[in-house]
């Protein structure tokens, strides 16, 4: 039996609280990116809350609110970890990003900051992850995990967002 969806429009004050929370976590002014008059909706699901901005599933919340990989406007503003094509099948199954698969590190970030993981060939967003090193040390480390995977292409969040859109 299909899951019932509760989807409704958020009040401006509720939307502002969500954008403020995400902006703080990303260190980016999300409200400025999406525009002050954006229509915010929330869909409550078994996986958590999905937040739609102008009809697009840009944010989700399980324990805190994070962007989905559908939030393509973030691409030019967030730090990136570029991985070789050999790493792609692993990170697309939820594996953490390991140092040997990293081609380069773009931008600056600290430990615990959110980063995008992209492939070297196409530059497509594959993973939203949490940095285990700051940018300087991520460029130097030669073994072990560098990024903890939080959300990746093809995971349950990705699939649910696609079906809700």
Q: Is the pTM of this model over 0.85?
A: yes
> What CATH topology corresponds to 74-153?
2.30.130
> What CATH topology corresponds to 6-72+157-164?
Nuclear Transport Factor 2; Chain: A, (3.10.450)
Phi and psi at 100, nearest 5°, equal: -60, -25
Residues 6+ apart with CB under 8 A from 133: 111, 141, 146
Write down the pLDDT at residue 3.
Answer: 52
DSSP class of 102: E
Give the pairing type, strands 114-119 and 102-106. unpaired
Instruction: Look up tokens 């990989």; give the residue.
Output: 69
Stretch(es) of the chain classified as CATH 3.10.450.120: 6-72+157-164
Strand partners for 9: 41
Write down the pLDDT at residue 37.
Answer: 83
Write down the pLDDT at residue 34.
Answer: 87
Look at residue 30 and give its three-state secondary structure.
helix
Stretch(es) of the chain classified as CATH 2.30.130.10: 74-153
Residue 59 in contact with residue 51, Cβ under 8 Å?
yes
Write down the pLDDT at residue 1.
Answer: 40
Write down the pLDDT at residue 63.
Answer: 80
The count of other CB atoms within 10 Å of the CB of residue 26 is 19
Spans of the chain below 50 pLDDT: 1
Residue 42 in contact with residue 11, Cβ under 8 Å?
no
């Amino acid at each position: 039996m299909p899951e019932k969806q509760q989807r409704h429009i958020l009040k401006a004050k509720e939307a502002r609280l969500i954008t403020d929370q995400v902006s703080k976590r990303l260190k980016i002014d999300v409200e400025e990116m999406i525009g002050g008059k954006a229509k915010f909706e929330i869909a409550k699901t078994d996986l958590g809350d999905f937040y739609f901005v102008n009809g697009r599933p840009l944010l989700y919340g399980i324990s805190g609110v994070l962007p989905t990989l559908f939030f393509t406007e973030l691409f030019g503003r967030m730090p990136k970890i570029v991985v070789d094509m050999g790493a792609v099948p692993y990170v697309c199954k939820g594996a953490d990003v390991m140092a040997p698969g990293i081609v380069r590190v773009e931008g600056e970030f600290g430990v615990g900051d959110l980063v995008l993981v992209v492939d070297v060939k196409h530059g497509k967003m594959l993973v939203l992850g949490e940095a285990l090193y700051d940018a300087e040390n991520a460029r130097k480390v030669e073994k072990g995990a560098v990024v903890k995977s939080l959300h990746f292409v093809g995971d349950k969040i990705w699939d649910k967002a696609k079906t809700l859109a």
